[in-house]
Structure 1
Amino acid sequence: MNGGAILIQQHKKWFQGVIKVAGISLTILVLASCNQVQKISDIFEPPTEREKYERTFDENDTRFIAWRNAAKRALGDTLSISLPYSEVGAFPSDFSFVYGYDTQLQNGRKLIVSVTSESDSIDAFVDIYQFPYDLENEPLLSKDTKVSNKVEFLVEETGDYKILVQPKIGLSSDFRMDINTEPTLIFPVVDVDTKVIQSYWGDVRAGGARRHEGVDIFAPRLAPVVAVKEGRVSFTGERGLGGKQVWLREGLFNSSFYYAHLDSIKVSSGQKVNVGDTLRFVGNTGNAITTLPHRHFGIYGGNGAIDPLPFIKKEQKTTPELKSPLPTGQISSALANVREGPSLDNEKIISLKRMHPVIILGKTVNWYHVLLHNNTQGYIHHSLVTEG
């Protein structure tokens, strides 16, 4: 090789080296830029705890892919529960699985999902979606139970919701889930509860000319009527069908609370009040003059009257004693129906014959939550299954 050829070869190697170094530098620059963009994006829209967890995995990690696919399947499941609901069991550590439940929630309720363990704190996620369900859309709420084993969600729209409980990859733990709702407002009359309500939202009034836009709470005369929210009294006085009344406004553009058929006055217009402050006392003024003492309570938002019952109705809390089941079982009767929910009112999914094996995911009152070989899950009455 002559001197000119050697010189050309040396330049070629040098050029390739520059290209290689530049390529590495460009890759680093791109990665740095992506990380910087992600950090900036997180400032304007903070990532959920689930998103933070997902970022710790490589997209090609087979365990992570299975974990993500399990969440997608759960959004398509049709399991349906009524609240309150409790279930005990053990998270399966040998495969990815998500506990997903459809339920109906009402505006004015606070959903509470509690996930606990007898042995240790639970390392799982609770996600809440509103119908239609799509994993590509952000959940309304996503919480890590390692941070808090009680997840709370304020329901602002009546409709169908999906609750997902997904253990983190490889978690092996017993669990107990309790799902229920509570009212978001205190009860408007002291020392009574929802049992004394005798007239409800939508009841016919004036021979069908109008509908009742609230609830009537019957209580002893002069029982204290209290503020259900912090706010300011926008009106107090006597007028129209409501007789002596109080209007309480929560903020400038938020809801107004209407108290009617009252007796003596305790507050004045423009006065600021706190939750539980006495406003007036139960009476039967206005068009309630011929009835027993009671207090009409209504809520008005930007679109008019709202059914106030979900906001104040107290549910009877139940914490049933449940024994954690074994992870497997088999059908012990000639035929067993697998249903979409833990009730005979739920739709039948499939019927199984005697000795058919099932994976037991959990147990609720009188029902096993089971998984079949084709990834179908449902509920079977406890009398039709033998554990082990």
Structure 2
Amino acid sequence: MRNLISKLVLCVLLGILICSCNRSVRIFKSNSARIQYENKLESSGINSTKIGEEWLNSADEALLNAPLLQVPIAIQGSFKSKSIAAEAWKIQLEQGASINIVVRWHANDSSELIVDLLEGPEWKELKSYTAQNDSVKFEAGKTGYYVIRIQPELLGQGNFQLRISGTATYAVFPVEGKNSRAIQSVWGDVRDGGRRTHEGVDIFAERGTPVLAPVEGVVTAVRDRGLGGKQVWVRDSERNWNLYFAHLDSQLVRNLQRVKPGDTLGLVGNTGNARTTAPHLHFGIYQSGAINPFPAIKNDFIAAPLLPDEQFSPAMKVNVSQANLRNGPSTKSAVISRMKVEELVFIKAATSDWFQIKTIEGMTGFLYKNLLSGIDSIALEEKTAYAYGNYPRLSTSDSLLVELDQFSKIGTTKDGLEIIVDKDDNLLYLPLSQKR
């Protein structure tokens, strides 16, 4: 195909090659894959071109439009070379919770996929790396929203699959032989007729069950007093947390003793104000006050599924009289719009049961897969014409010279642009005047 993309690809590759070979060019070194790649674009001058600006802008737009997903989640899709794009998804995590992030990237060329993890609300970059077929563990330093963004290198093309699963933060659960299902009283439960709330979790087990150090640390106190009765305090210096183990039947460590994950601190009991309850461990975490310890010790998770590789059309149509467009891939997610039969949508990604879509007007959301079906296409005549890669932002510098006989028409926008697609599923927009 004779079009501007060929020239742009050559420009990108040549520019980056020159920068990497020219010893006089000074590139700021960083562990961030995004910053490293942006430095290459800047050094080659590509960042100030229309195509470079579009790549940078698409990363920012992905953050603004990131939908909220619930962990665990698996989602897959593809990037096309003529459609400069990025995708992003938002998740909510509590302080101390951990997730595993797995991104699979199968490129049709040598391009790499940049994976960014950002922390809200200012979307500060926490991690940025190129995708590999292994997992990256992340622990939330504070309660809030986080975004995972993926973007191929300029003009890169390939298929991706993102899997996010919860995982244990601490290597060892605090009570031997138990897991987080043994917790029967949680953070915030009412105590003393409402005069106070529970500042920890209660893990029930038989008297004498070993209480274990969940992390490497130092014993900072061994006490027998107050509400906690026989208690042990351990300092988790990695997180600046003080771990509290209360109601013990006996204590088996001394003050200032160093402990490793799995070392026995004491035995489960019901001392202190737990004399009238069944034996259990009260476990708490303090960091300038009490914080919810459950996210740090939860160890009962459902893994995100590995989706079978699926090829789906870049555009589909609604096949029912009314379809609920939701803000997440679940029937419990809020309905943001109701779509009518035959409405055309663009497929951005897919879970096992839902499509993440974008309407012609730019609205994004999720539709259940059974509500969509394929669309008919019409072959175009043999002719060259300028088509646009981005809608509704159309400009002369955004146009591509294409051979129309390599495209098919699949629909029309409300303002008269024909939507065309090639054999590689690249979507473009063709003004009617270009067909004459």
Same fold flag (TM > 0.5): yes
The answer as to 2:295 corresponding to 1:310 is yes
The answer as to 2:374 corresponding to 1:374 is no
Aligned twin of 1:242:
228
Aligned twin of 2:160:
175
Measured in 2, the distance between the counterparts of 1:315 and 1:77 equals 31
Aligned twin of 1:221:
207
Q: Which moved more, 1:336-345 or 1:66-75?
A: 336-345
Measured in 1, the distance between the counterparts of 2:372 and 2:225 equals 64
1:114-193 equivalences in 2 (<5 Å): 114-117=102-105, 123-133=112-122, 138-146=124-132, 149-185=134-170, 186-193=172-179
Q: CA deviation at 1:225?
A: 0.8
Aligned twin of 1:110:
98
Aligned twin of 1:354:
341
Aligned twin of 2:265:
279
Number of residue pairs matched by the alignment = 346
The answer as to 2:271 corresponding to 1:292 is no
Aligned twin of 2:243:
257
8 Å Cα contact 2:111-2:157 kept in structure 1: no
After superposition, the Cα gap between the structure-2 partners of 1:67 and 1:349, relative to the gap in structure 1 and judged at 3 Å, is farther
Measured in 2, the distance between the counterparts of 1:228 and 1:361 equals 42
Q: Which runs of 5+ in 2 are unaligned?
A: 1-21, 376-436
8 Å Cα contact 2:107-2:156 kept in structure 1: no
Q: CA deviation at 1:376?
A: 2.9
- Spell out structure 1 runs of 4+ moving beyond 6 A: 118-122
Q: Which runs of 5+ in 1 are unaligned?
A: 1-31
Q: Which moved more, 1:286-295 or 1:148-157?
A: 148-157
Measured in 1, the distance between the counterparts of 2:358 and 2:154 equals 19
After superposition, the Cα gap between the structure-2 partners of 1:175 and 1:260, relative to the gap in structure 1 and judged at 3 Å, is same
Aligned twin of 1:11:
none
Q: TM-score, normalised by structure 1?
A: 0.82
Tell me the amino acid that sits aligned with residue 175 of structure 2. Answer: V
8 Å Cα contact 2:119-2:146 kept in structure 1: yes
After superposition, the Cα gap between the structure-2 partners of 1:204 and 1:267, relative to the gap in structure 1 and judged at 3 Å, is same
Measured in 1, the distance between the counterparts of 2:83 and 2:77 equals 15
Q: TM-score, normalised by structure 2?
A: 0.73
Aligned twin of 2:7:
none
8 Å Cα contact 1:217-1:296 kept in structure 2: yes
Q: Secondary structure of the equivalent of 1:72? A: helix
Tell me the amino acid that sits aligned with residue 263 of structure 1. Answer: D
1:318-341 Cα deviation digits (max 9, x unpaired): 343534241332211112122221
Measured in 2, the distance between the counterparts of 1:171 and 1:224 equals 54
1:10-21 equivalences in 2 (<5 Å): none
After superposition, the Cα gap between the structure-2 partners of 1:149 and 1:166, relative to the gap in structure 1 and judged at 3 Å, is farther
Aligned twin of 1:69:
57
Q: CA deviation at 1:78?
A: 4.7
Aligned twin of 2:75:
87
Measured in 1, the distance between the counterparts of 2:48 and 2:277 equals 71
Q: CA deviation at 1:47?
A: 5.5
Tell me the amino acid that sits aligned with residue 351 of structure 1. Answer: R
Q: Secondary structure of the equivalent of 1:310? A: helix
Q: Secondary structure of the equivalent of 1:51? A: helix
After superposition, the Cα gap between the structure-2 partners of 1:223 and 1:118, relative to the gap in structure 1 and judged at 3 Å, is farther
Measured in 2, the distance between the counterparts of 1:265 and 1:60 equals 66
Tell me the amino acid that sits aligned with residue 81 of structure 1. Answer: L
Q: Which moved more, 1:356-365 or 1:207-216?
A: 356-365
Q: Secondary structure of the equivalent of 1:320? A: coil
8 Å Cα contact 2:73-2:305 kept in structure 1: no
1:76-130 Cα deviation digits (max 9, x unpaired): 1151111111112222332022221122111001232211146789821222222
8 Å Cα contact 1:333-1:354 kept in structure 2: yes
8 Å Cα contact 1:143-1:151 kept in structure 2: no
Match of 2:196 among 207, 210, 223: 210
Measured in 1, the distance between the counterparts of 2:191 and 2:328 equals 38
After superposition, the Cα gap between the structure-2 partners of 1:339 and 1:133, relative to the gap in structure 1 and judged at 3 Å, is farther
Measured in 1, the distance between the counterparts of 2:278 and 2:266 equals 17
After superposition, the Cα gap between the structure-2 partners of 1:174 and 1:47, relative to the gap in structure 1 and judged at 3 Å, is closer
Aligned twin of 1:270:
256
- Between structure 1 and structure 2, the one with the greater Rg is 1
Measured in 1, the distance between the counterparts of 2:214 and 2:260 equals 8
Q: Secondary structure of the equivalent of 1:55? A: helix
Match of 1:200 among 183, 186, 197: 186
